[in-house]
Amino acid sequence: MHDVLDPDSDRGRVYRSLVGHPGEPVGRLAARAGLSEAVVQAVLKELAAEDIVVTAAPGSGEESWEALPPLQVVETLLQRDAALQTVLRQAGAELERLYRFARRDAGHYGALEVVEDAARVLSLSRQLQQSARRQIRVIDVPPYSGTSDHYLEQEVLQRERMAAGVVYRTIYHGCAFDDPIAGPNMARMIEAGEQARTLDDPPLKLAISDSDLAVVTLAADDHPGVISLLIRPSSLFRALTNVFESLWKLAVPVSAAGIGTQIDARDRQILTLMASGATDDAIARRLGLGRRTVVRRVSALLDRLGATTRFQAGVQAARRGWL
């Protein structure tokens, strides 16, 4: 996102052109920026989804664009950076503690147990879920090394636990949509009732059962495969739960509707205008639709994307290739 301030990047060229020449249509922007109209159109969609540019009020009928004030854009960037840095520092501090504990020869830290046996690492996941009474919190990051059978067994167990009243809250890596095994599994679990969100690059693989047990899975240093760190109630455990909750607030909600599907041309137009900041009235005028029709379709799109705001809808739509 910071490249919008770089005059040598495509995004930076387009934004700077708009800063100096408000209300420009795509053709003139392309000429000023030295880019093709297709590239400028794609950049404008990205910048609109990030609340950096908006479509200007319609005049001659040719779509034109306006830059948001640079100080506002910079302040938004700094606020997002500050929130992300806080979370990453928390995660980094806890991982550093785990790193040091895992390398203690005697392993005397009572709240921590290191598990290296591959079979037991897998069984820990079942143990954690079967012992839960209220909720399971998960951060799921690649590599997704499980087989199809493993994911199917996990689905059966998760459905059983959810039927028993256990709430599952999962933060998925942004690339999970594209994984041929993890993606469909994610969609089925969300449809079954899992609460899910996505984040571009979560810092660790984590599962937490109630307030009783956490499991961090890491790549082994001295052999192929992974190791698991079991953390029982302690200050370390509380810090990991805080990391999860902080990331949960930053992550974007996901719904089962629309995963792996596409949308029609009209909904794509509505989403593009939504992402650019257009109101329902403006969308209705631009597309020649009734306001009620736009309100109904916007509401349906928000539901399909699992979004509560237009910005979230734009992010999710971009991730799914709908824009």
The pLDDT value recorded for residue 106 is 47
pLDDT at 22: 85
Q: What is the pLDDT of residue 126?
A: 87
- Whether 91 maps to a domain, the answer reads no
Tell whether 102 and 240 lie within a shared domain.
yes
Secondary structure element (H or E) that encloses residue 90, with its range: helix 70-102
Q: What is the pLDDT of residue 119?
A: 78
268 within some domain: yes
Q: Are residues 247 and 102 in the same domain?
A: yes
The answer as to whether 33 is a domain residue is: yes
Q: Are residues 105 and 241 in the same domain?
A: yes
Instruction: Report residue 262 as tokens.
Output: 């596409």
The phi and psi torsions of 248 (rounded to 5 degrees) equal -60, -40
Q: Tell me the pTM.
A: 0.55
For residues 186, 189, 193 and 197, what is the CA-based torsion angle, rounded to 10 degrees?
-20
One domain, residues 64 and 154: no
The per-residue pLDDT for 320 is 67
Same domain? 128 vs 187 = yes
End-to-end CA distance of the chain: 17
Do 148 and 222 reside in the same domain of the chain? yes
Lateral strand order in the sheet of 205-209: 112-115, 226-231, 213-219, 205-209, 135-140, 167-173, 195-199, 252-254
| 48 and 186 part of one domain | no
Q: Does 133 lie in the same domain as 16?
A: no
> What CATH number is associated with residue 288?
1.10.10.10
- What pLDDT score was predicted for residue 221? 75
Contact 273, 283 (CB under 8 A): yes
One domain, residues 230 and 279: no
Residue-number span of the structural domain to which 20 is assigned? 2-68
Whether residues 121 and 208 fall in one domain: yes
d(CA 265, CA 285): 17
Angle between the 280-287 and 291-305 helix axes, to the nearest 10 degrees? 110
Q: For residue 124, what are its two tokens?
A: 């820990």
Strand partners, 208: 137, 214
Question: What string of pLDDT tens digits covers the 323 residues of the chain?
Answer: 667 888 788 888 888 888 888 888 888 888 888 888 888 888 888 888 888 888 876 555 678 888 888 888 888 888 877 888 888 878 777 777 777 666 655 445 568 888 887 778 778 888 889 989 999 999 998 877 667 787 888 899 999 999 999 999 999 887 777 777 777 888 889 889 999 888 877 888 999 999 889 999 888 777 777 788 889 888 889 989 999 998 888 787 776 555 555 678 888 888 878 876 778 888 888 888 888 899 888 888 888 777 777 777 777 777 666 76
Specify whether 248 is located in the same domain as 268: no
Query: What is the total count of domains within the chain?
Result: 3
Residue 76 falls within a domain, yes or no? Answer: no
75 domain-assigned: no
Which position has the token pair 């004030």?
Answer: 69
Instruction: Give the span between the Cα atoms of 321 and 208, in whole angstroms.
Output: 32
> Helices 310-319 & 37-49, crossing angle to 10 degrees?
130
